[in-house]
Amino acid sequence: MDAALRLLRILADCQGPTSLSDLAKSSGMPPSKIHRYLSSFVNAGFVEQAGRSGKYDLGRSALLLGLSAISRHDFVNRAADGMPDLSAETEMTAILSVWGSEGATAIRWERAPSPMVTSMGLGTTLPLLSSATGRAFLAWSPEGAIEKARNLELRRARRNPSLLPDITLTENGLKDLCYQIRENGFASVEGRYIPGLVAIAAPILDWQEQAQAVVTLIGTDPEMIRKEAASVQALLRFCREQSLFLDEGVTKSG
């Protein structure tokens, strides 16, 4: 049974229809054994075979199973349940945010063991360009969802460039920022935005590599937001576990 399920996963990881010989090479199993498994999968509708090429691909039953799993995946509540442990592990305050009608909105707040002074709380709307939470949404949200907020904040910052001293205030500047955030796997801001506090934020991704929610950790020690810091690695690991899209290339630093 384990070998059969592993073969199905290998087929799912292929970019398209795959020959029996390629499946044998990828799985390390003899072609005769693979053929028996594939025949069973075809009969059950989990695999289909192309006419002329004879290559194998996922079938309708696999599609229905995947759609059913997706529809039952509750990004927000699953993440919220794990936030107390994340906060305790990192000794940082944890915030869970979703993109609402007014922007990035905090919907769950787990305070660190050592309290910190901040006016933020549940329902707080965080800026797109100057907060770690907002920047994570900027990097992993569909263009249409954030366009209005991005353009508004960009115009405001151009009138007062000191608001965003670490960003080149152009479309290309924002693209460069998004590229760097995605390369790192997380966004961060230092105390220039919230005096005395630092923050890191990473996305919970769906199957389209888009942010369904963002988890943010807030602390006081600048060392906690460095790429190699244990707190950063804990955040990335937590968000990967909550995501449906688990490609290593999306969160490379994890």
- Between 145 and 187, the higher pLDDT residue: 187
The pLDDT value recorded for residue 250 is 41
Res 254 pLDDT > 60: no
The proportion of the chain whose per-residue pLDDT surpasses 70, expressed as a percent, equals 87
54 and 130, same domain (yes or no): no
| 247 lies in some domain | no
6 and 111, same domain (yes or no): no
| 167 lies in some domain | yes
The pLDDT value recorded for residue 162 is 80
Res 199 pLDDT > 90: yes
The CA radius of gyration of the chain, in Å to the nearest whole number, is 22
- Between 183 and 164, the higher pLDDT residue: 183
- Between 121 and 228, the higher pLDDT residue: 228
Name the domain boundary from 71, 96, 113. 71
pLDDT in tens, 111-122: 887 666 555 667
The pLDDT value recorded for residue 170 is 86
31 and 94, same domain (yes or no): no
- Angle ∠(227,142,192) on CA atoms, nearest 5: 40
Res 176 pLDDT > 90: yes
Region 171-182: mean pLDDT is: 92
The pLDDT value recorded for residue 66 is 64
Res 74 pLDDT > 80: no
63 and 92, same domain (yes or no): no
**Residue indicated by tokens 């073969």:** 7
Res 252 pLDDT > 60: no
| 251 lies in some domain | no
Q: Which two tokens stand for residue 18?
A: 């795959």
**Does pTM surpass 0.75?**
no
Tally of structural domains, the chain: 2
Range of the domain at 32: 2-71
The pLDDT value recorded for residue 107 is 86
Name the domain boundary from 36, 55, 71. 71
pLDDT in tens, 124-156: 888 999 899 999 999 999 888 888 888 899 888
- Between 119 and 9, the higher pLDDT residue: 9
95 and 50, same domain (yes or no): no
Res 14 pLDDT > 50: yes
pLDDT in tens, 16-71: 888 888 888 888 888 888 888 888 888 888 888 877 778 888 888 887 776 565 55
Res 251 pLDDT > 50: no
Name the domain boundary from 46, 71, 96. 71
SS (HEC) of the chain: CHHHHHHHHHHHHCCCCECHHHHHHHHCCCHHHHHHHHHHHHHHCCEEECCCCCCEEECHHHHHHHHHHHHCCCHHHHHHHHHHHHHHHHCCEEEEEEEECCEEEEEEEECCCCCCCCCCCCCCEECCCCCHHHHHHHHHCCHHHHHHHHHHHHHHHHHCHHHCCCCCCCHHHHHHHHHHHHHHCCEEECCCCCCCCEEEEEEEECCCCCEEEEEEEEECCHHHHCCCCHHHHHHHHHHHHHCCCCCCCCCCCC
